[in-house]
Amino acid sequence: MEELIKALKVLVSDVVTFYFMAHGYHWNVEGPDFSQYHDLFSDIYEDAYGSIDPIAENIRKLDDYAPFSLKKFNELTTVQFKDVEPSPKAMAKALLTANESVIKSLNDTFKKATKADEQGIADFISGRIDMHKKWAWQLRASTK
pTM assigned to the model:
0.96
Across the range 112-136, mean pLDDT stands at 98
What is residue 52's predicted lDDT score, i.e. its pLDDT? 98
What's the domain count of the chain?
A: 1
> Other CB atoms closer than 10 Å to residue 46's CB: what's the count?
13
**CATH at residue 51:** 1.20.1260.10
Q: What is the pLDDT of residue 35?
A: 95
Structural domain of 79: 2-142
Of 44, 32, 35, 39, the closest CA to residue 95 belongs to 44
Mark 62-75 as b/e (b = at least 16 C-beta within 10 Å): eebebbeeeeebee
**In the predicted model, is pLDDT for residue 23 greater than 90?**
yes
pLDDT at res. 82: 84
The answer, yes or no, to whether residue 85 has pLDDT greater than 80, is: no
Q: If pLDDT is split at 50, 70 and 90, which confidence band does 31 have?
A: very high
